[in-house]
Structure 1
Amino acid sequence: MRGLLLGIITLAYPALIYFGLGHFEPKWLALLLLAIALTRALLTKEKIWLIAAAGAALLAGLSFTSNQLLPLKLYPVLVNAVLCAAFALTLAYPPSAIERLARLREPDLPASGVRYTRRVTQVWCGFFIFNGCAALITALWSDAAWALYNGLIAYILMGVLFLGEWIIRQRVRAAYD
Structure 2
Amino acid sequence: MIKSPPTSPLLMLVSLLGVLYPVAMLLLLPHLNSLALALIGVGLMLVRGVLTHRLWLHLGLALPLVAIVLFGSSELGMRLYPVMGNALMLFIFAGSLRGPMPIIERLARLKEPDLPEAGVRYTRQVTRVWCAFFTINMIIAALTALFADIELWTLYNGVISYCLTGALFAGEWLVRHHVRRRATS
Per the normalisation by structure 1, the TM-score is 0.91
Contact residue 40 and residue 50 of structure 1 kept, 8 A = no
Q: Percent identity?
A: 41
Two-structure CA RMSD over aligned residues (Å): 1.6
What corresponds to 2:32 in structure 1?
24
**Cα offset, 1:57, TM superposition:** 4.9
In structure 1, how many angstroms separate the alpha carbons of the residues matched to 2:38 and 2:83? 16
- Whether the 8 Å CA contact 1:33–1:57 is kept in 2: the answer is no
Q: How does 1:39-118 map to 2 (within 5 A)?
A: 39-46=47-54, 50-60=56-66, 62-63=68-69, 66=72, 68-118=74-124
Take 1:17 and 1:11, find their aligned partners in 2: how far apart are those partners? 11
Aligned partner of 2:46 among 20, 24, 38:
38
2:68–2:76: 8 Å Cα contact kept in structure 1? no
Pair 1:67–1:134, CA change in 2 (3 A):
closer
Q: What displacement does 1:67 show?
A: 5.4
Equivalent residue letter for 1:83: M
- Alpha-carbon offset, residue 21 of structure 1: 1.3
User: Mind listing any 5+ residue stretches in structure 2 that lack a counterpart?
Assistant: 1-8
What does residue 143 of structure 2 align with? 137
Deviation at 1:166, TM superposition (A): 0.5
Cα deviation per residue 1:77-131 (whole Å; 9 max; x = unaligned)? 1111121111111112121111010000000000000010000000000000010
Structure 2 Cα separation of the partners of residues 84 and 34 of structure 1:
18
Offset of 1:54 from its aligned partner? 4.1
Mean CA deviation greater in 154-163 or 56-65: 56-65
Pairs aligned (count): 175
* Matches of 1:136 and 1:172, distance apart in 2: 35
Q: Tell me the equivalent position of 1:10.
A: 18
TM-score for the superposition, normalised by structure 2 = 0.87
1:163 equivalent in structure 2: 170
